[in-house]
Chains A and B, each alone.
Chain A
Amino acid sequence: MSRSLGRVSAGDGRREQRQAGEEDFRSYYGRRVLKEPVWEWLVPAYLFAGGLSAACAELAAGADLTRRPRLRKAARLGALGGLGTSMYFLIADLGRPERFHHMLRVAKPSSPMSVGTWILVAYGPGVGVAAMAELLPSRLRRSRPGKLLGVLARPAGLASAAVAPGVASYTAVLLSHTAVPAWNEARDRLPFVFTGSAAAAGGGFGMVCAPVDEAEPARKLAAVGAVTELVTSRQLDERLGVVSEAYRTGKAHRLRRWSEYLTAGGALGSLLAGRSRAAAVASGLALLAGSALQRFGIFEAGVESTKDPKYVVVPQRRRVDRGEQA
């Protein structure tokens, strides 16, 4: 019944006394100004799965053109698997999942979720056709539909690869295009963290699933992605003013620190992964885990930044006091 009878913090609007070094600010009983995101773990899980799928689609197209059949097969299936789980996560997170198709009523440039919906609509069929061609039992390949599928697989894969960079990057705008301080303030950097994280995950997946002699592009992609992710992710900790604290503290910090260890370890491991399958699998798994933890960490920082009124009030108050226009 009574949630916080004993609490009297700053209800009179007096400046809240905080630990030394923290900024004073006023608030309504220390309550949040913004609503917390209603999204649950499904959304960061989608961010990971979508990024993984996009990077796999790129590897699949490249492997197809450079005749690396086993990398191609693994990546095509990875792209479909990532997309399938993405779709599940996205729909399950709706308050009314049975109405998911209402997303297709409109195309709204002002809504990154609407833009993303249409990016996925453009992306999905190519991924599906390419993966179907891999899954087709050999006895059906000679049939007329089987042959057609074989012919369509390459253009379908290339089409999805053309859209994949959009799939990997739009999710950064999806988060930044909100009032959530930790996501909004990170808007200039988040796309690079996300595409880096996607490339690391896709590369890692290729290293795990394809034999060493075909997996060189996967190793390279993983290394490039991991380095991008590591460098840009650090900027979130340091360059976002007050809001960086949401990234540097609590659960978000713990998740992202582990992400950093795993991603850095996986990147180093990818240098050895050309010689040993075991090293390739281990570093690939580390990269996948690092990418996932990065998404969960960023998600968590956003949620935290809506719970504490500090992240809303302090930067806005500073702007007003300096007489700056929004």
Chain B
Amino acid sequence: MTVSRESFFGPLDDVSGDAGYTEHPERVGFFTDTSVCIGCKACEVACKEWNLLPDGGFDLLGMSFDNTGELSANSWRHVAFIEQPAPPREASPAREADAVDLGLPSFDLPGAGTGEETRTDFRWLMSSDVCKHCTHAGCLDVCPTGALFRTEFGTVVVQDDICNGCGYCVSGCPYGVIDRREGDGRAWKCTMCYDRLRDGMEPACAKACPTDSIQFGPLDELRERARERVATLHEHGVTEARLYGEDPNDGVGGDGAFFLLLDEPEVYGLPPDPVVPTRDAGSMWSRAGVAAAAFAAAAVSVFFGRSRR
């Protein structure tokens, strides 16, 4: 194992290898395609059940159907609901071509039409958020006990028997995912069902998802599939479809769990361009070194010079 600049920032091909695994399975991840999410929250429930997460209390937040609010120590999947005016659609050639003529007799009645004109300009966005399992994970980098570690699958997991609840990871995460559990004192977050992965099973949320909005698999395959999905959606006129977190050149070296979104990330409560704080570790330490040297120089020099004693 060698620590290179790529270990802290930038694209990293073999994330488990960089963490010291000589032989390891390929990196796995989630591709969450929000264009087919129906907001059933089966992922939230399955996650709670499998991981035995405590009840978060009964809250009515007044935020559409979202009464979970955000990812937390007790909620490792969170479905966001956004009610908004739909973007204007241009008639898409692909859609017209897809229509199949069933040959039924038809005649125009008043008000009859394709249905297009009766639709409102409203749309409901739903998205199941989760820990991103970053290539360069802010939480993992700052953990002072080694409780957070990189698994052989390339995911990031907290060891609950090691964590001493220092809380540094909570502030180290540029996505605001990991949190300390009230009354427990330790940090908790999604493990991508590490126990299930080790037994060759997919994570509980992906298993429970009825529309395959949450897809689990080798990250390279998911990235390929996601690019195809975006192309298809663009063809169908859904030009606002975009991927979030799939780019290995982004501020965290790419996410192990990435998304297909239908609006800007911040609309879903996601940071538009997160950067792992470790990117600037070198420059921060050198500035601190300069400040330390100045401090030492000041401390020495105050003992020189004329004394009034």
A binding-site residues for B, Cβ under 8 Å: 1-8, 11-14, 25-29, 31-35, 37-39, 54-55, 58-59, 62-63, 65-66, 93-97, 99-100, 102-103, 105-106, 108-114, 117, 161, 164-166, 168-170, 172-173, 176-180, 184, 187-188, 191-192, 194-195, 198-199, 213-214, 216-218, 220-221, 224-225, 228, 274, 306, 309, 312-313, 316-317, 319-320, 325-326
Contacts and interface: CB of A to CB of B under 8 A. Distances in A.
Contacts of B5: none
A256 to B, nearest CB: 19
B205 interface: no
Given A38-B170, A177-B281, 9 more contacts: A2-B59, A11-B63, A13-B82, A31-B69, A168-B292, A172-B287, A191-B290, A199-B298, A326-B251
CB-CB nearest 10 A-B residue pairs: A95-B165, A95-B185, A326-B251, A28-B269, A13-B267, A191-B291, A12-B84, A99-B164, A58-B299, A165-B292
Contact of B287 (A103, A110, A188): A188
Interface string B53-92: 0000011111110000110000000001011110000000
Given A11-B83, A95-B167, A168-B292, A221 B299 contact: yes
Max count, chain B CB within 10 A of own CB: residue among A63, A103, A165, A320: A165
Interface stretch (B20-28, B94-102, B109-117, B172-180): B172-180
B162 A102 contact: yes
B178 to A, nearest CB: 7
Interface string B246-290: 000111000000000001101111111111011111011101111
Interface in B29-60: 58-60
25 contacts: A1-B59, A4-B63, A6-B62, A11-B82, A12-B84, A29-B63, A29-B269, A39-B171, A63-B303, A94-B165, A95-B163, A95-B186, A96-B165, A102-B147, A108-B143, A113-B142, A168-B291, A169-B289, A170-B288, A179-B277, A195-B291, A216-B309, A217-B302, A313-B271, A316-B273
Contact of B292 (A37, A169, A184, A214): A169
B184 interface: yes
A111 B62 contact: no
A106 to B, nearest CB: 4
Contacts of A187: 280, 283-284, 287
Contacts of A93: 166-167
B1 interface: no
Contacts of B266: 13, 25-28, 33, 309, 313, 317
Contact of A33 (B63, B147, B269, B305): B269
Nearest to A176: B284
A8 B63 CA distance: 7
A8 B271 CA distance: 21
Given A35-B176, A110-B281, A113-B168, A28 B80 contact: yes
B197 interface: no
A155 to B, nearest CB: 17
Interface residues of B, number: 90
B171 A179 contact: yes
B4 interface: no
B249 to A, nearest CB: 7
Contact of B250 (A168, A217, A326): A326
B2 interface: no
Contacts of B104: none
B201 interface: no
B295 A179 contact: no
A103 B292 contact: no
A179 B180 contact: no
A110 B278 contact: yes
A33 B184 CA distance: 23
B18 interface: no
Nearest to A303: B171
A267 to B, nearest CB: 14
Contact of B293 (A5, A32, A99, A165): A165
B216 interface: no
Contacts of B203: none
B198 interface: no
Contacts of B249: 325
A58 B291 contact: no
Nearest to B72: A35
A90 B92 CA distance: 61
Contacts of B273: 316-317, 319-320, 326
B119 interface: no
